[in-house]
Structures are given as C-alpha cells and as structure tokens.
C-alpha cells in the first residue's frame, strides 16, 4: 500500500533490465563462456518461474515476485516499508529471524504471546498492533516452531482491521488442509510468502516467492537487487513445478507426522498438534544433546522455550531411528 511505503521509495524507479532476443550480446560486461550458459546473468524477474506459478495459483505474473528464499522476501518488505525506529509486530513464539531482520533494518520489534503457545486472541492481537503503532505485521501460518494453524478467517480479520502492512509467511502451508488461495488482490496491505524449501524439498536452492496485488509487487520490486535468483535455482524451480514429486512427498510427511505423534505419545511426550513437517514438544532438558551423541539431530530451544524441542518429519527409516534413540535415552535416564 502506497501510504505505508518509505518516503525514499515512493519516487524510486526499479533497476530496469531489458530482456530481448539477440544475436550477439555484449551489453552487460559478462565473461566469456566456459560453463554452458552460466556466463550470462539470469533472467532478472524469473519470468518462466512466475509464469508457471501464475498458472498454478490462478494469478497474473505481475502479482508474483521470486526471491532468494523467503528470507530475502521478508527483508524486501522491510526495505520497502520500514523506516528506522518503526515497529514490527509478530506473535510469540515464532520464527526468530523476524526479530533479527527487524534489528538489522533498525526497526523496533515487539511480540504478542500466544495462549498456551497455540491459540491467538485475535481481538487482543489487533488491539496490540494498533497500540504499538506497527508499520509491519508478520504472521507465520502455520506457525514455526509450534506447528499451529490459525484459521484463515482470523488472519483476514487481522488484515482488514490493522493499519499496517501484513506479511503472511506460509512456508509450511502445503502440509496443512488449507488450499493455496489468498486474498491479496482485494487487500492492498497484504503480501503472502511461500517457499520451495519445505514441501518441494529444495532448501538447497534457496527459492521462494511473494504473492501480492500488482501495485504492491511493483513497489517491492523497486528495492529488489537485479538478478537476485540465479540461473540454477530458476531452472530447478521450474522442474519442481512441472513434477509430481512434491505431492508424493507431502503425502508421506503427513502420514509419518501422525505416526510420529502417536509414537511420541506412547513414550510419554505431548507433541503439539501440527500442520507442518515437524513436531514441537516439551521434554527433559538435554534431550537434543543426548540424541546428538547417538548421531541424531533434533532442534532444542533456549530462553523462554528452554525444555522444548522440534523434530522434523523424515523418511520412515529416519523417524524409526529417532524413536529408537529416544527409547535408549529414556532407558539410560530411568
């Protein structure tokens, strides 16, 4: 939304890369080819990827912006909208990088605690956002690290009520029952972020995308570095969008997630209800270190989340190895 843009960005023109057919290309100071095609800069706005995503989502390519992972897209929103000293609001607990990015961009970060770390008091949150004078609101849905899914109607109540830009981070949405739809066309203060790292299992190529009203995408493109997504990531992302592999992977993760939840409950743990590719649960401190000694890596948290752990859902064989190692630790401690 124009009124929330930083003053310096309102009259800024995006770096313009003209994509044209050519016979000889000597306009960009590129090197002499020695690995096929890699001496050329990538297509600046990832046109092929945007076309495929647009077909998949029922969007226009101008409603999409492709980035070097969701992390770059979060920072682009901050570059476009956040002045030094202005406030970013999120929930707690949530993805820790929201706070870190806010500090890097000289903002003020405040968070609103979830009830029992799972439920969001929507009215209380809206009041908190308004009282904080927030410029940006960031909501992870489903939420990392808890796995909680907030109803879409609650999210839209927030979008329509607050006087701020809302960044809805849907990195794990494919593991939930919610469809891949959004309401960005009719809400100029909303952008939605998604990633190739989770459901498409391509964290190594660092690829994500933003969905927004074309006016908002135009504003955010003004602060995007040219050629921000490399040739290889664009090519692999294109292959992923034309493959059925992710559908099979999502099905396996959802099935294994429920099995792992049952198995952990049998062993005395109480995992949170999850709509992601991980489970979040409390346990005796040091579980992560005890498992690491057995070659098993899970995530342990500190600070306010001391004593809580997160385990990613892997293959059935990997999950069995985790359960076996947990039993060993429990037997050792008993």
Residues 6+ positions from 165 with CB-CB distance below 8 Å: 1, 4, 77, 81, 135, 136, 137, 189, 190, 191
**202 token code pair:** 């391509």
Provide the pLDDT for residue 71.
Answer: 96
Q: Which of 163, 145, 29, 46 is nearest to 97 (CA)?
A: 145
Integer Cα distance of 89 and 109 in angstroms: 6
- Please write the tens of the pLDDT for every residue from 81-111: 999 999 999 999 999 999 999 999 999 999 9
Q: Which of 127, 137, 134, 128 is nearest to 87 (CA)?
A: 134
How much is the average pLDDT of 52-63?
Answer: 96
Range of weakest confidence among 153-162, 199-208, 243-252: 243-252
Q: Is residue 221 over pLDDT 70?
A: yes
pTM above 0.75, yes or no: yes
| CA–CA dist 236, 242 (Å, integer) | 10
- Hey, what are 242's tokens? 């034309």
* DSSP run (H or E) holding 31: none
Predicted local confidence at residue 181, as pLDDT: 83
Between CA 171 and CA 243 the distance in angstroms is: 19
Please report, for residues 25, 40, 41, 232, the alpha-carbon distance to residue 29 in angstroms, rounded to integers and kept in the order given.
9, 9, 10, 20
Which residue in 70, 59, 64, 37 sits closest to 49, CA to CA?
64
Tell me the pLDDT tens digit for each residue of 68-83: 999 999 999 999 999 9
- Cβ(42)–Cβ(67) below 8 Å: no
- What are the backbone angles phi and psi of residue 228, rounded to the nearest 5°? -75, -15
> Does residue 3 register a pLDDT over 90?
no
The confidence score (pLDDT) of residue 63 equals 98
Res 1: pLDDT: 67
Q: Which domains does the chain have, with CATH numbers?
A: 2-241 (3.40.640.10), 245-333 (3.90.1150.10)
Give CA separation, 303 vs 72, 75, 194, 221, in Å.
26, 25, 28, 37
**CB 218, CB 76: distance < 8 Å:** no
Q: Which residues are within 8 A (CB) of 21 and not within 5 positions of it... i.e. 6 or more apart?
A: none
| pLDDT at position 281 over 70 | yes
pLDDT (tens digit, 9 = 90+) per residue, 174-201?
999 998 888 999 999 999 999 999 999 9
Q: Is 58 exposed, middle or buried (0-12, 13-18, 19+ CB in 10 A)?
A: exposed
125 Ramachandran zone, left/alpha/beta (phi>0; psi -120 to 50): alpha
pLDDT tens digits along 224-269: 999 999 999 999 999 999 988 888 899 999 999 999 999 999 999 9
Looking up tokens 């706070």, which residue turns up? Answer: 99
pLDDT > 90 in the chain, percent = 91
Where does the pLDDT of residue 289 fall: very low under 50, low under 70, confident under 90, or very high at 90 and above? Answer: very high
How close are the terminal C-alpha atoms of the chain, in Å?
A: 58
Mean residue pLDDT across the chain: 96
List, for residues 25-50, the tens digit of each pLDDT value. 989 999 999 999 899 999 999 999 99
With H, G, I as helix, E, B as strand and everything else as coil, classify residue 139: strand
Which long-range contacts (C-beta less than 8 Å, at least 24 apart) are formed by 184-188? 184/63, 184/211, 184/212, 184/213, 184/216, 185/63, 185/213, 187/156, 187/159, 187/160, 187/213, 188/1, 188/213, 188/215, 188/216
Residue 202 has pLDDT above 80, yes or no: yes
């Amino acid at each position: 939304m124009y009124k929330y843009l930083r003053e310096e960005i309102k009259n800024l023109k995006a770096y313009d890369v003209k994509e044209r057919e050519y016979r000889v290309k000597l306009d960009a100071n590129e090197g002499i080819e020695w690995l096929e095609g890699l001496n050329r800069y990538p297509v600046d706005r990832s046109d092929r990827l945007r076309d495929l995503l647009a077909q998949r989502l029922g969007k226009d390519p101008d409603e999409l912006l492709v980035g070097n992972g969701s992390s770059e897209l979060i920072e682009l929103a901050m570059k476009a909208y956040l002045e030094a000293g202005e406030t970013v609001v999120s929930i707690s607990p949530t993805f820790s990088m929201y706070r870190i990015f806010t500090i890097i961009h000289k903002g003020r970060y405040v968070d609103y605690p979830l009830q029992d770390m799972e439920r969001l008091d929507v009215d209380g949150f809206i009041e908190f956002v308004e009282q904080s004078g927030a410029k940006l609101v960031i909501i992870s849905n489903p939420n990392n690290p808890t796995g909680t899914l907030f109803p879409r109607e609650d999210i839209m109540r927030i979008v329509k009520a607050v006087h701020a830009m809302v960044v809805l981070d849907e990195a794990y949405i494919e593991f939930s029952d919610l469809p891949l739809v959004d309401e960005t066309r009719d809400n100029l203060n909303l952008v939605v972020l998604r990633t190739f790292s989770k459901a498409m299992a391509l964290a190594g190529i660092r690829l994500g995308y933003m969905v927004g009203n074309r006016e908002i995408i135009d504003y955010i493109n003004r602060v995007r570095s040219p050629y921000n997504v490399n040739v290889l990531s664009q090519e692999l992302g294109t292959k992923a969008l034309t493959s059925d592999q992710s559908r099979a992977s999502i099905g396996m993760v959802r099935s294994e997630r429920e099995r792992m939840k049952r198995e952990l409950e049998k062993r005395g743990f109480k995992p949170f209800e999850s709509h992601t590719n991980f489970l979040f649960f409390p346990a005796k401190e040091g579980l992560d270190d005890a498992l690491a000694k057995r070659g098993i890596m899970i995530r342990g948290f500190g600070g306010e989340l001391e004593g809580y752990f997160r385990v990613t859902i892997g293959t059935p064989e990997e999950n069995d190895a985790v359960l076996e190692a947990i039993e060993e630790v429990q037997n050792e401690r008993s």
